[in-house]
Amino acid sequence: MIKFGVVVFPGSNCDRDVAYVMRDLLGQPTRMVWHEETEIADLDVIVIPGGFSYGDYLRCGAIARFSPVMQATIRHAEQGKLVLGICNGFQVLTEVGLLPGALVRNRDLHFICDRVSLKVERTDLAWTQAYQPQQVITLPIAHGEGCYYADPDTLASLENNRQILFRYCAPTGDWGEADNPNGSLHNIAGICNRQGNVLGMMPHPERAADPTLGNTDGGGLFKGLLKAIALSSP
């Protein structure tokens, strides 16, 4: 069994959705981790869910970075354990420096809730191994500040180190400005750190994992994760 922890900040609102997928759909032991907690050594995977942590005042994720749980999460990541940030969680991971770059206001300045096509750029990591190379999947997005920004050097190193895991694309897999919902540079929807154990993504895989709701393209991420950890465990 793989133990999941789902961080709960005041203002998190996808925490229960993630826990529902882990615990109820995948049957994995899952506990909620309050933002003031620091004892997370029992956890294999820590998930920073979507929402509006601390109201997202100042800047998305900017206050969350100072929380005790994020200090513990940094240590968790340094040990090579898995960290997944979804939506606001991705913003928090860039704020604490576990991932490079920043997420800024969407190109058209509106909040966007929609379903978008994504290209899986790499399938040799735990996160994406259930997908086919270059597979196009559909995941929901829901954000006002999801436009990925980084300086040219950072972007070049993300490309060179193959840290871009998901890119916004057309249903055919081609990607250009027309298929970019929020203006993200290089159509970036999700990236990992150099080591590959920390993933941040704006789309919501947990909203596409339940057959009752139709789309299950996001379920692959969680199932792949379980398989990877099961294989790596003694």
Partner 1 sequence: MTAIATGPFSLEDLASEGLKPEEYAEIVHRLGRHPNRAELGMFGVMWSEHCCYKNSRPLLKQFPTEGDRVLVGPGENAGVVDLGNGLRLAFKIESHNHPSAVEPFQGAATGVGGILRDIFTMGARPIAILNSLRFGSLADVRTRRLFSGVVAGISHYGNAVGVPTVGGEVYFDPAYNGNPLVNAMALGLMETPDIVKSGAAGIGNPVLYVGSTTGRDGMKGASFASAELSAESVSDRPAVQVGDPFLEKSLIEACLEAFKTGAVVAAQDMGAAGITCSTSEMAAKGGVGIDLDLDLIPVRETGMVPYEYLLSESQERMLFVAHKGREQELIEIFERWGLHAVVAGTVLAEPVVRIRWQGKIAAEIPALALAENTPIYYRDLPESPPDYAQQAWAWTSQLLPACSQAGIDLAGNLISWNQVLCQLLASPTIASKSWIYRQYDHQVQNNTVLLPGRADAAVIRLRPLEGAKSEPEQTDRIESGVAATVDCNPRYVYLHPYEGAKAAVAEAARNLSCVGAQPLAVTDNLNFGSPENPIGYWQLAEACRGLADACRALATPVTGGNVSLYNETLDAAGKPQPIYPTPVVGMVGLVPDLERICGQGWQASGDLIYLLGIPVGNENLDPTHQGQVTLGGSEYLAVIHNTVAGMPPLVDLALEQQVQAACRHGIEQGWVHSAHDCAEGGLAIALAESCISGDRGAEIHLSVIADTSQRWDQILFGEGGARICLSVESQFQSLWESYLQTHLAGYWQAIGRVTAKSEDLELLTSDNLSLIKVKINVIRECWGEAIVSQMMAK
- CB 202, min distance to partner 1, A: 13
Concatenated DSSP letters of 97-159: TSS-SEEE--TTSS-EEEEEEEEE---SSTTTTTSPTT-EEEEEEEESS-EEE--HHHHHHHH
- CB 44, min distance to partner 1, A: 17
Q: Which of residues 45-74 bind partner 1 (CB under 8 A)?
A: 50-52, 54-57
CA–CA distance from 32 to each of 5, 69, 116 (Å)? Answer: 6, 12, 29
Specify which residues 82 forms β-bridges with. 45
By rule CB under 8 A, what string of x and - marks binding of each residue 202-231 to partner 1?
--x-xx--x-xxx-----------------
Of 25 and 74, nearer to partner 1 (C-beta) is 25
Concatenated DSSP letters of 68-99: HHHHHHHHHHHTT-EEEEETHHHHHHHHHTSS
Q: Which stretch binds partner 1 (CB under 8 A): 9-17, 64-72, 94-102, 221-229?
A: 9-17
Residue type, 212: T
- Binding footprint of partner 1, residue count (CB under 8 A): 35
87 given a catalytic annotation: yes
206 given a catalytic annotation: yes
Q: Which of residues 83-142 bind partner 1 (CB under 8 A)?
A: 110-114, 140, 142
Question: Would you count residue 27 as binding partner 1 (CB under 8 A)?
Answer: yes
Distance between CA 1 and CA 27 in Å, rounded?
A: 9
Distance between CA 163 and CA 159 in Å, rounded?
A: 6
CA–CA distance from 76 to each of 40, 43, 130, 177, 194 (Å)? Answer: 8, 9, 24, 37, 16
- CB 109, min distance to partner 1, A: 9
Which one is catalytic: 87, 147, 169, 192? Answer: 87
Positions annotated as catalytic residues are 87, 204, 206
Could you list the residues that contact partner 1 (CB under 8 A)?
A: 10-11, 13-14, 16-17, 20-21, 23-27, 50-52, 54-57, 110-114, 140, 142, 144, 204, 206-207, 210, 212-214
